[in-house]
Structure 1
Amino acid sequence: MTQSTHRKRVLAGSAALAVALTTAGLAVGPSAAGYGEAVIEPVETDLAGKDWVTTRATSNDADSGRAVDGDESTAWTPSGHRAHKKKDQALTLDLGGAYDGLHKIEVVLADATPARYVVETSADERRWVTVADHRDGRSGAAGTTALVDRDGTRYVRVRFTDAGHQGKQPGVAEIHAYNYLRDDLRLGADLSYADQERDQPYYLDAEAALAGEPDPGPHLLDVVQDRGMEHLRLRIWNDPRDETTGVETDPAYQGPERSLTVAREITARDMSLGIDFHYADSWADPSKQPKPRAWAELPFDDLTGQVHDFTADYLTRLKAQGTTPAKVAVGNEVINGFLYGSEAEIIGTTAPQYFTDEADVYQSRPGGGLLWDYWRSENPDEQRLYTQQWDRFATLMASGIDAVRETSPESEVEIHAIVDTGRLDKTMEFWTQLLTRLEAADAAPDVLALSYYPEWHGSPEELENNLHTIADAFPDYALDVAETAYPAESWPPGDPTPLPNSPFPVTVQGQADAIQRVFQVANDVPGNRVQGVLVWEPANWQPMFTWVETGSGWFPEANASLDVFHDSDVAHVLQDDVRVVARAHDDVRLPRTVAVLTPDDDGPGDGRPGNSRPGRTAVVWQAVPDDATATQRTSQRTFTVEGTTQYGPVTATVHVLPDR
């Protein structure tokens, strides 16, 4: 089933949970999460203004960009030359790739004179589908809005079928192409801490928490499922240890055994599962990638074998209990390699503490750390070592990928890296070096993933540029934003100043907006290339929960920002812009209804997902001023009228033409 269907079923399926919680005195439901306040509107992007969108026209092509410059006072106008008068004149937008979430197209004509034209969409420029037909020369004056629900739209075309009709040359002042979250964009979180929080009650409603309800609230997994998360990732440590002392932890949180239980709890709630192999006993990230203690002194060939066997064994156990992962990450944030060994002396790593304290063990044999200090070196010895470590890293990576392919072929394989602020060149070198080797070894992954935290990885616009650059350079791979987060409260409290590189304040609203902005950036990459976005540890790191003191202790209450997971989807796309033409002294006739589309609805279309047709909804308009169409002898003027529908507001722009 599609992910949107999954989200709908999650919310419908939480009815039983709602009954149980209501009985316990807790208010529930999508609107119940409300600690703090947040207004969350569905994601909507006008793609026409994006840098990667191009325009072309059958005539006056040099002016075609005026239709997407955001200025209605400029326009593309087809040529009035005799050679063009007998031909259809067209303006085409190339969106740079397919979009499944493109649901609304607005065309603003350069004037309000009659025009004969159609608006069309296409996936390949061979088969065109008419989404607005104004060849009658009467409708669509001044512009039109079309609602569409077809997968794979890449091209939008405005085609004038009679460029010289009534001696006028119609033109296009602006085209807007609105994109909404795709049905299959997978939204969720890395929620590995659900292991040790299994017995921690989570409230859905602050009012109930403040009232000191004695009964325990729902499990964390119930809360995030109710809020619309659909995919959860678990990190897997080999033999969990204290990051400072290296002593084994008890309980062995996030270790293989305990994570099997969490995997069952996730899939039992109809959420898909991701597995993130750290291949370490503690944190592995860009600043540290220690080998697990059991592998630390192995020769390289044996180390390679252990990566394969550990991966294969654990996936076999997951499958045996009915929890086959949808996605498997081989390593975590491996921009600098992983499984560091003797090369750490050159890398200069100092973390974790046990890795340096026991260097004679952990750094005794070669591993898969990368020697970035030797990148672009003109020293032959340094270049040899640089290449040698790339070969080792790729060999270890291929071993893990092969294990996934052999034991869990249903699972997608992901490689997870980062882009440091201003260091896209390093990340492109990373992917080029690694993928070249993996492709040669017939061990290519399915998905290339990035972490995105603005304080380290730049602005949302930099994320957008990074994703586009990687997508263009490596067209055979899907992409992911495997980690992101944003705080709702500063520490110490009271300072809403945005994090570095971010425009969003540190508030509950700012948290919702920042996370939704990442959803938007991911969704807008052409070709539906980004598969999903995961928030990292929303119950712990820059949390989406607030601890509330009650009569029976402290309990975490969901921030209103947690609703971003289901409220970012659009339920109905409304024809919220209407263009009307009236003559001086004439009555203004506003439409009684406008179009409304329920994306991916099964009717009244042809029954195929992504191919439904819009319906109609009634509009209640404000009164039109009595003198709205007073005599206009020389020039056209415009005014607006506001209207309301059950799905939201509508604005009518009325163009009053002068006396004949």
Structure 2
Amino acid sequence: MTHSTHRRRALAGGAALVVALTTAGLAIGPSAAGYGEAVIEPVETDLAGKGWVTARATSNDADAGNALDGDDGTAWRPAASTSGSRHGKRDQALTVDLGGAYDGLHKVEVVLADAAPARYVVEASADGKRWTTLADHRDGRSGAAGTTALVDRDGTRYLRVRFTAPRPGTNGVAELHAYNYLRDDLRLGADLSYADQERDQPYYLDAEAALAGEPDPGPHLLDVVKDRGMEHLRLRIWNDPRDETTGVETDPAYQGPERSLTVAEEITDHDMSLGIDFHYADSWADPSKQPKPRAWAELPFDELTQEVHDFTADYLTQLVEQGTTPAKVAVGNEVINGFMYGSEAEIIGTTAPAYFVEEADVYQSQPGGGLLWDYWRSEDPAEQQLYTEQWDRFGTLMASGIRAVREASPESEVEIHAIVDAGRLDKTMEFWTQLLTRLEAADAAPDVLALSYYPEWHGSPEALEHNLHTIADAFPQYALDVAETAYPAESWPPGDPAPLPNSPFPVTVQGQADAIQRVFQVANDVPGNRVQGVLVWEPANWQPMFTWVETGQGWFPEANASLDVFHDSDVTHVLEDTVHVVTAVGDDVRLPRRVDVLTPADGDVDGVRVTWQDVPDDATAEPGTVTVDGTTDHGPVTATIHVLP
């Protein structure tokens, strides 16, 4: 078990956190749990149960997988050592390959096949060649029955249990557990573009303050999400913001280039990193609709390509010059079906947005970058030619935007953002293969491949895990992102907490926390530290993580308890929470007075005192096992007492 606070904000004991607010010079007390209830524990994954983790052994290799099967009743046992090496008797080893490097692997537990003395060493490696000792039990006395080792090293891929000079009938490994925690560099945040509209709306950090109707209702939305642990915020950019139905320009021009410059400054002032998401549209762009901006709608394709470059470069130049260089830039939004639709929309059959259809003579007058999926795998040569031509156009437009990012903001990473429809991974793999082949040939490859994940449309958490792994394996040269995810805390109409399709989590505040944390976990567990971050979609507006509460001053939004998932998912201390003690029938039991605890932030491993419950009087009356619970300042500990004849 583990205990957490925010990994980037050390709190001493119960001391209050005072946040200096930039908006009004206010000082406020500690952040509260928020609306509703949610119990949030740090993310912890036993990687040994994952399908991509494998085991091999120097002897009895066919049984190596027994150490990963979750069954203490099966085991890998080494053969007796043989002579023949210049060092004398040969060691026998079980080696586990985690499938890729992990920076958040901090605890390894080895359960031996027998509660009997054994001489063995537990080791870790990044490359399978150079090994670091995690636990040394070559004395033949310590570590009987098993051991728990804490790990302070980045890039762990291989774990090894090496038995030194094993004898006939020697011990073996029943189970090996490898526990992964959130990496410190996994970037957690949100698309918070609606912060533009919310500039004048106060938000509560503290539920008690809200319900008490304090005169000053609270800080800005950015203060709240910063306080709750968000680190990266993304802004969508519409070219010339318009009403999605009428096509009429909106006033104010929310999420337009000019207003978003101001929001970018506010994000940077809050010491959060910035992401920019170019929609290349005047209203929403997503898998079902990708309208061109009105100003570009009638441009010939070559001029459209140049406009994409110039618009992208000009806006990024403005961001850089005002000191808000984006950490990441998405060229297009959810572009699985292409973007900037033009005359090909007639074949695609798009019916949205309304103005795009009603003014087809404008918006569909010239070719764009829409993809003709209906012609995929067609045996008609003419349809295949059109399919290829539209891929070429899409790739040309995408390359133009990517080149603009490289020129105007070379410090920014370039992201391409798509989706995987439930059951349609083959389509997404075709998407990446076709697009990346063209971009690599044009020397315009991106840095990051991103997905949206909403369970009702994109499948279960296990499907997300499978999809990320498949993409990571197919395209090892690219990093990955979960660019959007969300989950509701309340159904509409209210009253039905049943989970969304493809999800195991109820529609409650607790369910919201669990669903979002599950995405964090899936992303963090992809081997090789490949996923850079997870962003929640518009937590103040869409399936929101805020609830409006009535106070003495009116109605104000207050953070759900689930918003704490951004800091409470991190681990601050990893405890040696399992110990094994071997004794004989009738003997006294000696439990350790202290166990180890690792602080990942600084790599320190210290001892912490354990307070044990009383050992039963008859604990050693006969052979078997007895468990005793203990407590520490960093969580509970369990001792397994192995009583031998």
Q: TM-score range by the shorter chain?
A: over 0.9
Deviation of the 1:149 alpha carbon: 1.2
Deviation of the 1:24 alpha carbon: 7.6
* Alignment map for 1:131-170 (pairs within 5 Å): 131-164=134-167, 168-170=169-171
Assess if the C-alpha contact under 8 Å between 1:454 and 1:501 holds in 2. yes
Q: Write out per-residue CA displacement over residues 198-230 of structure 1, whole angstroms, 9 at most, x where no aligned residue.
A: 000001122221222221311000000000000
Cα 1:588/1:211, change in 2 over 3 Å: same
Q: Are 1:77 and 2:77 counterparts?
A: yes
- 19-28 or 333-342, which moves further after superposition? 19-28
Deviation of the 1:373 alpha carbon: 0.1
User: Partners of 1:240 and 1:517 in 2: how far apart?
Assistant: 35
User: Partners of 1:267 and 1:11 in 2: how far apart?
Assistant: 24
Q: Write out per-residue CA displacement over residues 63-88 of structure 1, whole angstroms, 9 at most, x where no aligned residue.
A: 00000100001111112375799210
Assess if the C-alpha contact under 8 Å between 1:10 and 1:226 holds in 2. no
Q: Are 1:387 and 2:374 counterparts?
A: no
User: Partners of 1:78 and 1:483 in 2: how far apart?
Assistant: 47
Match of residue 273 from structure 2: 272
Match of residue 288 from structure 1: 289
Deviation of the 1:168 alpha carbon: 3.9
User: Partners of 1:475 and 1:444 in 2: how far apart?
Assistant: 13
User: Partners of 2:466 and 2:16 in 1: how far apart?
Assistant: 38
Match of 1:280, SS state, is coil
User: Partners of 1:357 and 1:19 in 2: how far apart?
Assistant: 47
Match of residue 542 from structure 2: 541
Match of residue 104 from structure 1: 107
Name the amino acid aligned to 1:637.
G
* Alignment map for 1:355-374 (pairs within 5 Å): 355-374=356-375
Match of 1:197, SS state, is helix
Q: Write out per-residue CA displacement over residues 564-603 of structure 1, whole angstroms, 9 at most, x where no aligned residue.
A: 00000001000000000011111100000000000031xx
Match of residue 605 from structure 1: none
| Aligned with 2:30 (options 28, 31, 41) | 28
Match of residue 644 from structure 1: 631
Match of 2:197, SS state, is coil
User: Partners of 1:139 and 1:186 in 2: how far apart?
Assistant: 40
| Cα RMSD (Å) | 2.0
Match of residue 17 from structure 1: 19
Match of residue 88 from structure 1: 91
Q: Write out per-residue CA displacement over residues 87-136 of structure 1, whole angstroms, 9 at most, x where no aligned residue.
A: 10100000000000000000000111110000000000110000000000
Assess if the C-alpha contact under 8 Å between 1:582 and 1:657 holds in 2. yes
Q: Write out per-residue CA displacement over residues 428-481 of structure 1, whole angstroms, 9 at most, x where no aligned residue.
A: 000000000000000000000000000000000000000000000000000000
Match of residue 8 from structure 1: 8
Match of residue 68 from structure 1: 68
Match of residue 606 from structure 2: 615
Name the amino acid aligned to 1:136.
D
User: Partners of 1:613 and 1:17 in 2: how far apart?
Assistant: 28
User: Partners of 1:350 and 1:620 in 2: how far apart?
Assistant: 67
User: Partners of 1:191 and 1:542 in 2: how far apart?
Assistant: 13
Match of residue 465 from structure 1: 466
Match of 2:306, SS state, is helix
Assess if the C-alpha contact under 8 Å between 1:233 and 1:276 holds in 2. yes
Cα 1:627/1:57, change in 2 over 3 Å: same
Q: Are 1:310 and 2:311 counterparts?
A: yes
Cα 1:540/1:455, change in 2 over 3 Å: same
Match of residue 654 from structure 1: 641
Assess if the C-alpha contact under 8 Å between 2:631 and 2:637 holds in 1. yes
Deviation of the 1:26 alpha carbon: 6.1
User: Partners of 1:57 and 1:477 in 2: how far apart?
Assistant: 32
Match of residue 524 from structure 1: 525
User: Partners of 1:426 and 1:171 in 2: how far apart?
Assistant: 46
Assess if the C-alpha contact under 8 Å between 1:39 and 1:509 holds in 2. yes
Number of residue equivalences:
637
Assess if the C-alpha contact under 8 Å between 1:24 and 1:215 holds in 2. no
Deviation of the 1:244 alpha carbon: 0.4
Deviation of the 1:499 alpha carbon: 0.2
Q: Alignment identity in percent?
A: 83
Cα 1:6/1:44, change in 2 over 3 Å: closer
Task: Provide structure 1 residue ranges, at least 5 long, that are not aligned to the other structure.
Answer: 602-611
Assess if the C-alpha contact under 8 Å between 1:341 and 1:362 holds in 2. yes
User: Partners of 1:8 and 1:414 in 2: how far apart?
Assistant: 26
Q: Write out per-residue CA displacement over residues 286-330 of structure 1, whole angstroms, 9 at most, x where no aligned residue.
A: 000000000000000000000000000000000010000000000
| Aligned with 1:123 (options 121, 126, 130) | 126
Assess if the C-alpha contact under 8 Å between 2:598 and 2:606 holds in 1. yes
Cα 1:47/1:493, change in 2 over 3 Å: same
Match of residue 581 from structure 2: 580
Match of 1:433, SS state, is helix
Name the amino acid aligned to 1:526.
P
Name the amino acid aligned to 1:8.
R
Deviation of the 1:17 alpha carbon: 2.5
User: Partners of 2:196 and 2:640 in 1: how far apart?
Assistant: 56
Match of 2:190, SS state, is strand
Assess if the C-alpha contact under 8 Å between 1:27 and 1:208 holds in 2. no
Match of 2:8, SS state, is helix
Match of residue 442 from structure 2: 441
User: Partners of 1:22 and 1:371 in 2: how far apart?
Assistant: 52
Name the amino acid aligned to 2:629.
E
User: Partners of 1:221 and 1:82 in 2: how far apart?
Assistant: 65
Match of residue 609 from structure 1: none
User: Partners of 1:576 and 1:153 in 2: how far apart?
Assistant: 21
Cα 1:117/1:322, change in 2 over 3 Å: same
Q: Write out per-residue CA displacement over residues 342-390 of structure 1, whole angstroms, 9 at most, x where no aligned residue.
A: 0000000000000000000000000000000000000000000000000
| Aligned with 1:628 (options 615, 619, 636) | 619
Cα 1:356/1:14, change in 2 over 3 Å: farther
Cα 1:217/1:81, change in 2 over 3 Å: closer
Match of 1:471, SS state, is helix
Assess if the C-alpha contact under 8 Å between 2:420 and 2:458 holds in 1. yes
Match of 1:8, SS state, is coil
* Alignment map for 1:316-335 (pairs within 5 Å): 316-335=317-336
Cα 1:19/1:242, change in 2 over 3 Å: closer
Assess if the C-alpha contact under 8 Å between 2:486 and 2:543 holds in 1. yes
User: Partners of 1:10 and 1:579 in 2: how far apart?
Assistant: 32
Cα 1:23/1:425, change in 2 over 3 Å: closer
User: Partners of 1:181 and 1:9 in 2: how far apart?
Assistant: 15
Q: Write out per-residue CA displacement over residues 217-252 of structure 1, whole angstroms, 9 at most, x where no aligned residue.
A: 110000000000000000000000000000000000
User: Partners of 1:382 and 1:220 in 2: how far apart?
Assistant: 50
Match of residue 47 from structure 1: 47
Name the amino acid aligned to 1:648.
G
Assess if the C-alpha contact under 8 Å between 1:267 and 1:273 holds in 2. yes
Q: Are 1:349 and 2:340 counterparts?
A: no
User: Partners of 2:157 and 2:371 in 1: how far apart?
Assistant: 40
User: Partners of 1:332 and 1:19 in 2: how far apart?
Assistant: 33
Cα 1:39/1:336, change in 2 over 3 Å: same
Match of residue 117 from structure 2: 114
Q: Write out per-residue CA displacement over residues 163-206 of structure 1, whole angstroms, 9 at most, x where no aligned residue.
A: 11xx5411100000000000100000000000010000001122
Cα 1:513/1:521, change in 2 over 3 Å: same
User: Partners of 2:50 and 2:227 in 1: how far apart?
Assistant: 34
User: Partners of 1:545 and 1:5 in 2: how far apart?
Assistant: 21
User: Partners of 1:5 and 1:519 in 2: how far apart?
Assistant: 16
User: Partners of 1:459 and 1:82 in 2: how far apart?
Assistant: 49
Match of 1:48, SS state, is helix
Match of residue 193 from structure 1: 194
User: Partners of 2:537 and 2:11 in 1: how far apart?
Assistant: 22
Assess if the C-alpha contact under 8 Å between 1:119 and 1:133 holds in 2. yes
* Alignment map for 1:469-508 (pairs within 5 Å): 469-508=470-509
